Structure 1
Amino acid sequence: MSVESETVSIGEFEFQCGETVADLELAYETYGDFSGDNAVLVCHALTGSAHVSSRGRFEEGDQAYAWWDDIVGPGKAIDTKEYFVVCVNVPGSCYGSSGPSSTNPETGEPYGPEFPPVTVADWTEAQRRLLDELGIPALHAVVGGSVGGMNVLEWGKRHPDHVEKLVPVAAAPRLDPQCLALNGIARRAITTDDDWNGGHYYGGSDSDENGATSDGGTHPDEGLALARQIGHVMYFSKASMERRFGRRAATREAERAFPTDPAGRFFPYRDVESYLDYNASKFVERFDANSYLYLTRAMDNYDLSSGFESDADALAAFDGEALVMSFTGDWHFTTQQSEALAEALRETDTDVAHHVVDSDYGHDAFLVEPDNVGPPLSDFLEEGLDGNAVSDTKAVESESSDFAPVHNSLFSR
């Protein structure tokens, strides 16, 4: 498998907000060989990178390292012996593409909060520009999970003639109020951290690609850690948290990563707390707080129907095939939302299947359950909706009220 990892400038770029940057850089990776009609664009989730499979520039152990390695590679669901896979780090992120932590060439300092606000539409247009640079006029498929699935939908909306197949996985046309609320709290955790300093926390011009500085800049690590913990809880279902953690106390070797109240010394430090603390501590080592603000705003802002009368109207020009995938235990992007998306596609006479995976893991099932994701995805890419593993479970909706056990909420009474 041939692998290329590059950063390329696509020149001046105007964002949807009307602001421009003179030199937008995009980090991207490609896998396999291009044959003219076999390109598959993979869109990463909120804090992912361009490094979708097991070879590339990011070090093993990084949580963004090979984030879909069980799906993308030789002989896997997105088979890099058959397809030319492209994955692009989105603008506003901190894994090589231009964002708040990257250097503004006009000042020699990090952009910080002066970087333009980004949208999912901006991601899509930047990807289109990169594909033009690579000489790829059209795509066999666009595939992505979570907010990456919103990116997929925007391709069907903005460039319907440039893609044959859409695969939004664990995604929706827009976020619901509960998720908007939690994302808002997560952002407030960052912006109320004294070290956030209005987004000016980099400390000088010696910032690396993740925003870390070598000259003493103090980052809002506690705020970012809390934001990540809120997000992390959103990715589990109640059932998976019960199964994985229960009410167990952490092992004696576990050390609290954050201060506790005096009374807390009397009560157990629970396994679920220890898990969240550990992962939050690792997260702040790899990600930039301003990027987290920017990318969650892009996700919150996304509305497929924006500029159109309805979701169906927004996708009316797309005449390929679509596979919508959802997971029954996912309350972040629910099966009901996915079914509404599939129904919008049906209204346009698009050939579409809604493949519902019976899983109680939660939102991250699309990342950790390759045996459930891989077969229908592989068959759809190769054979379209005639693939043996592709199923349309729309009928379940009318046969059982259990079609979408959504919002098995964290806040149930």
Structure 2
Amino acid sequence: MTTKETADLGEFQFLSGESIPTLEVAYETYGEFTGDNAVLICHALTGSAHVARRPDAGDETAGQARAWWGDVVGPGKAIDTTEYYVVCANVPGSCYGTTGPASENPETGKPYGTDFPPVTVGDWTRAQRKLLDELGVGRLRAVVGGSVGGMNVLDWLRRYPDDVERAGAVATAARLDPQCLALDTVARRAITSDPNWNGGHYYGASESDANGGSSDSSDGRAEPEEGLARARQIGHIMYLSKASMGRKFGRRSAGRETVREEQPDPAAAFFPYREVESYLDYQADKFVDRFDANSYLYMTRAMDDFDLSAGYEGDADALAAFEGELLLLSFTGDWHFTTEQAEALAEAARAAGVDVAHHVVESDHGHDAFLVEPEKVGPPLSDLLASGLEGRAITDTEPESESDDSGEFAPVHTSLFSE
């Protein structure tokens, strides 16, 4: 049993203090609600509410917009929709049905553009809470998410600690490190320096209800495709590890048949067009067809701004009111959200008296591992929902990994999940 709906939550005041007359939230549900089986799933940066496969869903979108966790969520899957009532909502500021920069401002009849209020992860959590209230869902069996969706999970634990029984935060951290902040800055500059960005007001009159896309506007003004493409390429580099890039591409030429019609610079014709270049160009071309440049600015700002300890004495203090169970899942090849960052978060949870387990999964896929290795992500999440931290795929809450003389901790290898 699945539904695809949009809820009108009425006037919404963002944490910045600014308000919009109405906030519409696109969401999907899977399974039947029995009162104590609700699981909220929080999507990552460019994801949508379409977390699992639906019989009525077409292939009009790609990437994280289309069943982005379809091998983890669904009938008979790790998060089994025959047992749990799964809710996934597109967050404010995105471009997949929920109100964001590309949406029409009812007060002007034109798209908000960059007049849309600043959005934070806290605003996502508050909007999700309002949506769940509309659906009649009180306390959650679990809230689960990866990447910035994992930050969304952590915000639930500090903002609504009594509303969550169990939490699964995958490939995430309490905050971004300076290197990732710097790369996100360059990505945003790529968009805002595109001459077609026009201060964020590049939408045409016929696209006032746009949900992403990149067609030219009706007044002849093109959208900032080049800037968004470069931003996405930077993101893809962040999501891959050195090992995975070496395995996928090496230094190989992509071959004559894949050479672009227009060379990026005069010298390019002399040098090989490499497979890694071809991959980045292909991903960029796909992305500008499905996502909105302003939404990318808003979403990355929300991720960059998140700091679990904001308003508290530290991370432990932020988690202190949560009395449920927390599972952290990190990947050895992920340099976007590192295993060390996840372990620091686990230490903070232990200091706060939170029941916590930290899995470190051996993987060379980089940050993308939480999306492309469902066989490693699924079992611990399944056991978390069914049995809490006592599940067979979950280590003790006080792992041997905690520390040694070097201050390092030992990874939990994939053999744990092979039973």
User: Shorter-chain TM-score: which interval?
Assistant: over 0.9
TM-superposed CA distance for 1:260, in Å, is: 1.3
Within the alignment, does 1:59 sit opposite 2:63 as a pair?
no
Alignment of 1:76-225 (within 5 A): 76-207=77-208, 208-210=210-212, 212=214, 215=218, 216-225=220-229
Segment drifting more, 211-220 vs 47-56: 211-220
State how many pairs are aligned: 404
Alignment of 1:243-322 (within 5 A): 243-256=247-260, 259-322=263-326
TM-superposed CA distance for 1:205, in Å, is: 3.9
Given that 1:108 and 1:205 are in contact with CA atoms closer than 8 Å, whether structure 2 keeps it comes out as no
The residue number in structure 1 matching 2:414 is none
Residues 158-203 of structure 1: CA deviation (Å, up to 9, x unaligned) = 0000010111100000000000000000000000000001001012
Amino acid at match of 2:311: G
TM-superposed CA distance for 1:104, in Å, is: 0.9
TM-score (norm 2): 0.93
- State the alpha-carbon separation in 2 of the partners of residues 126 and 154 from structure 1: 12
Change (3 A) 1:211 1:202: farther
TM-superposed CA distance for 1:371, in Å, is: 0.8
- State the alpha-carbon separation in 2 of the partners of residues 224 and 404 from structure 1: 39
The residue number in structure 2 matching 1:398 is 403
The residue number in structure 1 matching 2:75 is 74
- State the alpha-carbon separation in 1 of the partners of residues 113 and 57 from structure 2: 25
The residue number in structure 1 matching 2:392 is 388
- State the alpha-carbon separation in 1 of the partners of residues 263 and 278 from structure 2: 13
Change (3 A) 1:385 1:257: farther
Change (3 A) 1:275 1:368: same
- State the alpha-carbon separation in 2 of the partners of residues 85 and 261 from structure 1: 49
- State the alpha-carbon separation in 2 of the partners of residues 201 and 61 from structure 1: 22
TM-superposed CA distance for 1:402, in Å, is: 6.7
- State the alpha-carbon separation in 2 of the partners of residues 317 and 402 from structure 1: 28
TM-score (norm 1): 0.95
TM-superposed CA distance for 1:212, in Å, is: 4.5
Amino acid at match of 1:342: A
Amino acid at match of 2:335: W
- State the alpha-carbon separation in 2 of the partners of residues 29 and 307 from structure 1: 32
Structure 2 unaligned runs (5+)?
412-419
TM-superposed CA distance for 1:251, in Å, is: 2.4
Counterpart secondary structure, 2:83: coil
Change (3 A) 1:61 1:396: same
Within the alignment, does 1:368 sit opposite 2:372 as a pair?
yes
Change (3 A) 1:72 1:39: same
Given that 1:110 and 1:205 are in contact with CA atoms closer than 8 Å, whether structure 2 keeps it comes out as no
Amino acid at match of 1:390: I
- State the alpha-carbon separation in 2 of the partners of residues 404 and 286 from structure 1: 40
Change (3 A) 1:28 1:273: same
Question: Aligned Cα RMSD in Å?
Answer: 1.6
TM-superposed CA distance for 1:397, in Å, is: 4.9
Given that 2:196 and 2:221 are in contact with CA atoms closer than 8 Å, whether structure 1 keeps it comes out as no
Counterpart secondary structure, 1:344: helix
- State the alpha-carbon separation in 2 of the partners of residues 378 and 73 from structure 1: 12
- State the alpha-carbon separation in 1 of the partners of residues 279 and 26 from structure 2: 31
Change (3 A) 1:180 1:363: same
Counterpart secondary structure, 1:194: coil
- State the alpha-carbon separation in 1 of the partners of residues 214 and 251 from structure 2: 36
- State the alpha-carbon separation in 2 of the partners of residues 69 and 48 from structure 1: 12
The residue number in structure 2 matching 1:28 is 27
- State the alpha-carbon separation in 1 of the partners of residues 93 and 48 from structure 2: 12
TM-superposed CA distance for 1:396, in Å, is: 3.0
- State the alpha-carbon separation in 1 of the partners of residues 39 and 281 from structure 2: 36
- State the alpha-carbon separation in 2 of the partners of residues 269 and 212 from structure 1: 26
Counterpart secondary structure, 1:269: coil
- State the alpha-carbon separation in 1 of the partners of residues 187 and 379 from structure 2: 35
TM-superposed CA distance for 1:59, in Å, is: 2.5
Alignment of 1:345-364 (within 5 A): 345-364=349-368
Amino acid at match of 1:130: L
The residue number in structure 1 matching 2:18 is 19
TM-superposed CA distance for 1:263, in Å, is: 0.9
- State the alpha-carbon separation in 1 of the partners of residues 15 and 104 from structure 2: 21
- State the alpha-carbon separation in 1 of the partners of residues 96 and 234 from structure 2: 22
Residues 18-62 of structure 1: CA deviation (Å, up to 9, x unaligned) = 000011000000000000000000000000000000115453552
Change (3 A) 1:115 1:404: farther
Change (3 A) 1:274 1:257: farther
Segment drifting more, 183-192 vs 48-57: 48-57
- State the alpha-carbon separation in 1 of the partners of residues 250 and 410 from structure 2: 24
TM-superposed CA distance for 1:395, in Å, is: 2.3
Given that 2:214 and 2:288 are in contact with CA atoms closer than 8 Å, whether structure 1 keeps it comes out as no
TM-superposed CA distance for 1:364, in Å, is: 0.7
- State the alpha-carbon separation in 1 of the partners of residues 155 and 276 from structure 2: 36
Aligned-pair identity in percent equals: 68
The residue number in structure 1 matching 2:8 is 9
